[in-house]
């Protein structure tokens, strides 16, 4: 091997190195699949979207010198692909057909949280959120967050993810899901009430209650 060969390979591998890191790439792919699957019901379509996002990252290989930059980039591609998929999916699953699901929802939820004057029930008042352990950024927190998200009725989590993960605006979601603005607002409100309570009980207040 000549020196010239070595140096040009070194230059290339600086950018491509991330792609050659099998562990990082595999983890990234699994994260993307999980993210896609919670939002798009058809598994094959979710996988296809991930493949396409990965492929476009390979095609832009020279852009990335850091893992974080690559991750941000492929996720933004993936989000756009998921938004497209959700637009097409609309005919098959109108949100109005989705179950409200088990657990306490709707008016019952409001009655549980607030008294007849609309004020917080004493034992339902939001508590201060103290981070146990090493703060929010750890794997355990995200497992709790996933569990809370999964516990939501399907309609709640679908609207919540469209709004917060895919960052679609209100008009876009209403158009896509054929719901009124007030219906969307109420659904997002209830989703947030439930998530807030679940995170507080399962994470922020866990140490105090156990």
Partner 1 sequence: MMSCHQATQLLSEKLDRPLNTKEKVALGVHTTICPPCRRFSQQMEELRSISKRYTQDPDAT
Sign for the CA dihedral angle at 192, 45, 31, 143 comes to positive
CB of 55 to partner 1, least distance (A): 19
| Contact status, residue 47 vs residue 174, Cβ threshold 8 Å | no
Residue 79 sits in the site that holds partner 1 (CB under 8 A)? yes
Instruction: Please name which of 113, 98, 116, 115 lies closest in space to residue 183, comparing C-alpha atoms.
Output: 98
Cα dihedral 20, 83, 197, 187, rounded to 10, equals -170
| Contact status, residue 79 vs residue 163, Cβ threshold 8 Å | no
Contact pick of 110, 132, 151, 176 for partner 1 (by CB under 8 A): 110
Residue 18 or 188: which CB sits closer to partner 1? 188
CB of 178 to partner 1, least distance (A): 18
**Which residues, including other chains, have CB under 8 Å from residue 130's CB and lie 6 or more apart?**
204
CA end-to-end distance (rounded Å), the chain: 64
User: According to CB under 8 A, which residues from 137 to 166 bind partner 1?
Assistant: 137-139, 141-142, 145, 163-165
Distance CA 18, CA 3 (A): 23
Residue 42 or 172: which CB sits closer to partner 1? 172
Q: Among 4-12, 29-37, 82-90, 93-101, which window interacts with partner 1 (CB under 8 A)?
A: 29-37
| Contact status, residue 144 vs residue 134, Cβ threshold 8 Å | no
Residue 208 sits in the site that holds partner 1 (CB under 8 A)? no
Residue 26 sits in the site that holds partner 1 (CB under 8 A)? no
Residue 8 or 131: which CB sits closer to partner 1? 131
Distance CA 131, CA 207 (A): 10
Residue 136 sits in the site that holds partner 1 (CB under 8 A)? yes
Residue matched to tokens 């990335």:
64
Residue 47 or 200: which CB sits closer to partner 1? 200
For binding to partner 1 (CB under 8 A), which residues are involved? 31-32, 34-35, 68, 71-72, 75, 79, 110, 113-114, 117-120, 125-129, 136-139, 141-142, 145, 163-165, 170, 184-186, 188-189, 192-193, 195-196, 199-200
């Amino acid at each position: 091997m000549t020196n010239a060969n070595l140096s040009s390979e070194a230059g290339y591998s600086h950018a491509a190195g991330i792609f050659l890191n099998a562990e990082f790439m595999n983890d990234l792919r699994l994260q993307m699949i999980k993210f896609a699957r919670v939002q798009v019901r058809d598994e094959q379509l979710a996988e296809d979207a991930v493949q396409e996002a990965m492929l476009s990252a390979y095609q832009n290989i020279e852009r990335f010198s850091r893992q974080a930059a690559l991750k941000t980039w492929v996720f933004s591609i993936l989000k756009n692909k998921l938004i497209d998929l959700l637009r097409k999916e609309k005919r098959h699953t109108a949100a109005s057909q989705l179950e409200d699901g088990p657990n306490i929802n709707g008016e019952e939820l409001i009655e549980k949280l607030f008294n007849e004057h609309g004020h917080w029930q004493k034992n339902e008042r939001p508590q201060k959120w103290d981070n146990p352990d090493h703060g929010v950024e750890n794997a355990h927190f995200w497992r709790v967050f996933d569990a809370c998200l999964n516990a939501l009725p399907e309609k709640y989590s679908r609207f919540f993810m469209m709004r917060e993960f895919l960052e679609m605006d209100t008009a876009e979601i209403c158009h896509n899901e054929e719901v009124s603005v007030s219906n969307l607002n109420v659904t997002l409100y209830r989703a947030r009430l439930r998530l807030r309570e679940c995170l507080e009980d399962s994470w922020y207040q866990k140490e105090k209650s156990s």
